[in-house]
Amino acid sequence: MNGTTVRRVRRLAVYAVSFALLSCLGAAGLQSGNVALWIEHEVAIPYGDVTLYGVLTVPPTEGPHPAVALITGAAGPEGRSGVASWTHIDHGHRFAAQGFACLRYDPPGTGRSDGERGVDALDTRAEEAVAAAEFLRTRPDVDATHVGLWGISQGGWVIAMAAAESPQEIAFLIMVSGTTVSVAEQQVYGVRTQSEAAGVVGDDLTTAVLVARLLIDWQIPEPIYREANEADLGRLEPGPWTEFAALVYGEPPEDPRQEIEQVIDILERIDQETWAGSLYLGELYIPNLRRVAPGQEAAAMEAAASSLLAGPADYFRRVACPTMALFGEDDLLVPAERSVDLLHEYFQSSGNAELTVVVFPNAGHSLNGFMPAYWEALYAWLEGLRTSWSGELP
C-alpha cells in the first residue's frame, strides 16, 4: 500500500443493481446454497446525549472483521441520507462480500435516530463520524485496530477531519467525489460550472456567481468576496441581489430574526430568475433558513461560518492513515483536478505516502451511478489493504 498513485480508468458501462431484490432481504442476506453472503444487525450507536439508529452488515464468516462506517454527503431537503439509502445498502453488502463489516446509520433527527436536525457544521459531523468508528471498535465481531471511514461528497471533508482529530480511531479512509478545497471555494465553483452546463451565460452567469459569493459573505464574520462582488454589482443591472449586497455589507438589522426574514424574501425573489437553478435556493437555502429556531440565529450562523472557513490543508495534512480518493473527471460540483493536486501536496508535505488516487474519465459527481470501474478499483485497493495487514488480522 505504499506509494502515491494516480490512475485514470477507461470508461465502462454504467453499473445497475436490482434494488427490488435487495430490499426484500432480511437479516440474513442473499443466499448462495445454504450460506448467507452477509448478515445484518440493527444497532444503537451512542453519540453524546442521543442514540443513533444503525444497521451493521457483517460477513457470514467468523470474525472479528475489519470494518468501515459510511458517512453521507450534505443534507438535502429531507436531511442527510441514512439506513434506507440504496447507495449505503449496496455498499454494505459489497463491503461484507469483501470481508469488511459495514455500518450505515440515520443521522441525528433523521429516520429512527434521536436528537434534532441542526446545521451540519463539519466539525460536528466529524465528531459524529468518530462516534460511529468508536462504536464499531467496541463490537466483538469487529477488529478494533482496523476500522475506517468511507465518505462521499461533503463526507470527504468530514472523514479527513475525523482522521486528523482522532488518528488512533481511524485506520483507513475512502473519499468518494470529495474535494480538498474549502467549502466556500467549492460552493462558488459548483454554481459556476453547473450554471455553465445548463447554458447560463453573460450577465446571468455573472449574477448567479455573485449571489453564490454573497451567500458566503453573509454567513461569515469578515467577507472574503467583497471586492469582486462590488465590481460585478457596478456592471450589472440592479435587482434583489443589489438589496442582498446592501444587507451583507451594510449595517445588519438589530433583530437577527428580521435579518433572516429579509434574506428569505430576497432569496425567494432571486429564485424566480431563470438562471438561479444551480444556487439551490428553494431546495436548500430557504428551507434551512426557515428551520432556524427563534433565538438560534447566531448559533446557526456561527456553525455555517466554521464550515465555510475551515482550512482543508490543516486537517488533510494531519491524515496519517492509508487513503483512497476517487474522482469523476467531469464533476460539476467539485474541482476534481485541483483537488487531486492539493491532495498530493498535502500528503507529500506530511510524509504520508499511503495515498491512492483514481480519476474516472467521462464521470460526474455520482460516478455515473457507481460504474463497474469504481467497484474494480475499490475492491483492488481493499485487497491491497488487507495484504498490508497480513500478520495483523486475527
CATH number at residue 35: 3.40.50.1820
Both 161 and 135 in a single domain? yes
Q: How many domains does the chain have?
A: 2
Both 361 and 257 in a single domain? no
pLDDT value at residue 19: 27
DSSP 3-state of 52: strand
Nearest Cα to Cα of residue 80 among 119, 50, 131, 45: 119
Both 216 and 267 in a single domain? yes
What's the whole-number mean pLDDT along residues 92-114? 91
- Please state the length of the chain: 394
Main-chain dihedrals φ then ψ at residue 317, nearest 5 degrees: -70, -15
What's the whole-number mean pLDDT along residues 131-151? 97
User: What's the rounded Cα separation, in Å, for the pair 88 and 105?
Assistant: 9
Q: Give the percent of the chain with pLDDT over 90.
A: 70
Final residue belonging to a domain, choices 308, 326, 343: 308
Cell 463497474 locates to: 372
- The verdict on residue 276 lying in a domain is yes
Both 130 and 250 in a single domain? no
What's the whole-number mean pLDDT along residues 13-17? 27
- The verdict on residue 393 lying in a domain is no
Both 219 and 110 in a single domain? no
pLDDT value at residue 24: 31
Both 104 and 157 in a single domain? yes
- Say yes or no to pLDDT of 340 above 60: yes
pLDDT band with cut points at 50, 70 and 90 for residue 80:
low
Cell 432556524 locates to: 292
User: What's the rounded Cα separation, in Å, for the pair 132 and 150?
Assistant: 11
Query: Average pLDDT over the chain, rounded to whole?
Result: 88
Both 216 and 323 in a single domain? no
Q: Which residue has the higher pLDDT, 298 or 356?
A: 356
Final residue belonging to a domain, choices 308, 333, 366: 308
pLDDT value at residue 188: 97
pLDDT band with cut points at 50, 70 and 90 for residue 21:
very low
pLDDT value at residue 18: 27
Dig out the grid coordinates for 370 from the structure.
457507481
253-285 pLDDT, tens digit per residue, is 889 999 999 999 999 999 999 999 999 999 889
176-214 pLDDT, tens digit per residue, is 999 999 999 999 999 999 999 999 999 999 999 999 999
pLDDT value at residue 35: 66
Final residue belonging to a domain, choices 308, 328, 358: 308
Both 379 and 277 in a single domain? no
pLDDT band with cut points at 50, 70 and 90 for residue 226:
very high
Q: Which domain holds residue 171?
A: 3-181+313-388
What's the whole-number mean pLDDT along residues 349-377? 93
pLDDT value at residue 26: 39
pLDDT band with cut points at 50, 70 and 90 for residue 116:
confident
Contact 339, 302 (CB under 8 A): no
- The verdict on residue 394 lying in a domain is no
User: What's the rounded Cα separation, in Å, for the pair 167 and 152?
Assistant: 20
